[in-house]
Amino acid sequence: MAARKRGELFTVLETSTDTETNALSDGEDCPLNLPVDVKWFEIPFRKSESDEEDEEVQENKGESELESTAAEDTADSASYIAGGGCNIILVTGNGIKHEEYEEDSYYATSNNCSETSSSDSDIDFSDLEEEERPGLFGAYDALDEECTSPDFWGEPDQVISIEPFTADSGPQHSLGDDADTLDYFRLLFPDSLFEHMVEQTNNYAIYRQRRSGRSDAHWHPTNIREMKAYVGLNILMGINQLPEYGMYWASDIFIGNAGFKKTMTARRFEKLNQNLHLCDRDSEPSKGELGYDGLYKIRPLLDIVGNTIWDAYLPNRCLTIDECAIASKGRFSPTQYMPSKPLRKGLKVWMLCDSRSGYCHRTRIYVGKSSDDVAAAAVGHKVVTSLVRGLEARHQHLFMDSFFTSVSLLQHLLHQGFYACGPTNPCRRGYPDALKPLNVGKLAPGEFYQCQHGNLVASVTRDAKIVSYLSTNCAPGIVGIGPGKREEVSKDGDCTDVAGLGIPRPLPLLLYQENMRGVDLCDQLRECYQVGRPCKKWWRYFLWFYINLCIVNSYVVLRESRRGLPPTGFNGKQFTQRHFRIRLAQQLIGDYQGARGMERAARKRHADSPLEYGHRLERMSERSRRCRNCTNKGLRHESVFGCKICNVHLCRGGCFSEFHK
Residues 47-75 pLDDT 10s = 555 555 555 555 554 444 434 444 443 33
Residue 633 has pLDDT above 60, yes or no: yes
- Determine the Cα–Cα distance for residues 197 and 277; give it in Å rounded to an integer: 6
CA dist., res. 447 & res. 26, Å (int): 23
Q: Which of 13, 81, 84 is nearest to 43 (CA)?
A: 13
The answer to which of 99-108, 192-201, 341-350, 570-579 has the lowest mean pLDDT is 99-108
pLDDT at 546: 97
Q: From 303, 342, 291, 278, select the one nearest 122 (Cα to Cα).
A: 342
Strand order in the sheet with 618-619: 618-619, 641-643, 648-649
pLDDT at 623 over 80: yes
Model pLDDT, residue 64? 47
Short-list 5, 4, 112, 108, CA closest to 427: 112
Mean pLDDT of 321-335: 78
Q: Which of 278, 199, 362 is nearest to 544 (CA)?
A: 278
> What DSSP string describes 473-509?
S--TTEEEE-EEEEEEE-TTS-EEEEEEE---EEHHH
Supply the DSSP string of 116-153, one letter for each residue.
HHHHH-SS--TTHHHHTSTT--GGGHHHHHHHTSTTS-
* Mean of pLDDT over the chain: 77
| Nearest of 473, 200, 493, 199 to residue 355 by alpha carbon | 473
- The beta-strand segments (E) located in 273-317 are 313-314
Residue 423 contacts residue 402 (beta carbons within 8 Å): yes
So what's the pLDDT on residue 596? 61
Phi, psi for 226 (deg, rounded to 5): -70, -35
Evaluate whether 341 touches 520 at the Cβ level (below 8 Å). Answer: no
Q: Which residues of 56-80 are buried (b: 16+ CB within 10 A; e: fewer)?
A: eeeeeeeeeeeeeeeeeebeebeee
Confidence band, pLDDT 50/70/90 cuts, at residue 45? low
Tens of pLDDT, residues 432-489? 999 998 888 888 888 899 999 999 999 999 888 899 999 999 989 888 887 766 666 6
CB atoms under 10 Å from CB of 283, counted, come to: 8
Q: Which of 188-197, 397-406, 432-441 is predicted with the least confidence, judged by mean pLDDT?
A: 432-441
**C-alpha R_g of the chain:** 33
Predicted confidence (pLDDT) per residue in 282-304, tens digit: 888 888 888 888 889 999 999 99
Question: Alpha-carbon distance 233 to 531, whole Å?
Answer: 9
> What is the rounded average pLDDT of the residues 524-536?
90
Buried/exposed code over 28-49 (b: 16+ C-beta within 10 A; e: otherwise): ebbbbbbeeebbbbbbbbbbee
Of 27, 63, 53, 23, which Cα lies nearest the Cα of 40?
Answer: 23
| Segment 77-94 mean pLDDT | 31
What proportion of the chain, given as a percentage, has pLDDT over 90? 42
Phi/psi-derived region of residue 523, left when phi > 0, alpha when psi is between -120 and 50, beta in every other case: alpha
Helix%, strand%, coil% for the chain, nearest 5 = 40, 15, 45
Q: Kindly list the structural domains of the chain, giving each domain's residue range(s) and its CATH number in brackets, ordered by start.
A: 175-286+529-595 (no CATH), 316-482+502-526 (3.30.2170), 615-660 (no CATH)
Residues 353 and 30: their CA atoms lie apart, in Å, by 19
pLDDT tens per residue across span 227-284: 999 999 999 999 999 999 899 999 888 999 999 999 999 999 999 999 999 999 888 8
Q: Which of 15, 22, 26, 23 is nearest to 474 (CA)?
A: 26
Per-residue pLDDT band at 187 (split at 50, 70, 90): very high
Which of 502 and 600 is assigned the larger pLDDT?
502
Which tops the pLDDT comparison, 617 or 600?
617
Q: Element (H or E) spanning 577, and its range?
A: helix 577-589
HSE (CB half, 13 Å, CA atoms) of 96?
24
CA 35-37-43 angle, 5° bins: 95
pLDDT band at 103; cut points 50, 70, 90: very low
Q: What is the dihedral of CA 194, 195, 197, 201, to 10 degrees?
A: 140
Read off the amino acid at residue 435: L
The pLDDT of residue 107 = 26
- Number of neighbouring beta carbons within 10 Å of residue 289: 8
Q: What gap in Å lies between CA 71 and CA 67, rounded to an integer?
A: 6
Q: Residues 512-518: what's their mean pLDDT?
A: 92
Report the percent of the chain where pLDDT is more than 70: 69
Note the pTM of the prediction, 2 decimals. Answer: 0.73
> What does the alpha-carbon distance between residue 557 and residue 173 come to, in Å, rounded to a whole number?
9
Which of 430, 419, 389, 422 minimizes the C-alpha distance to 404? 422
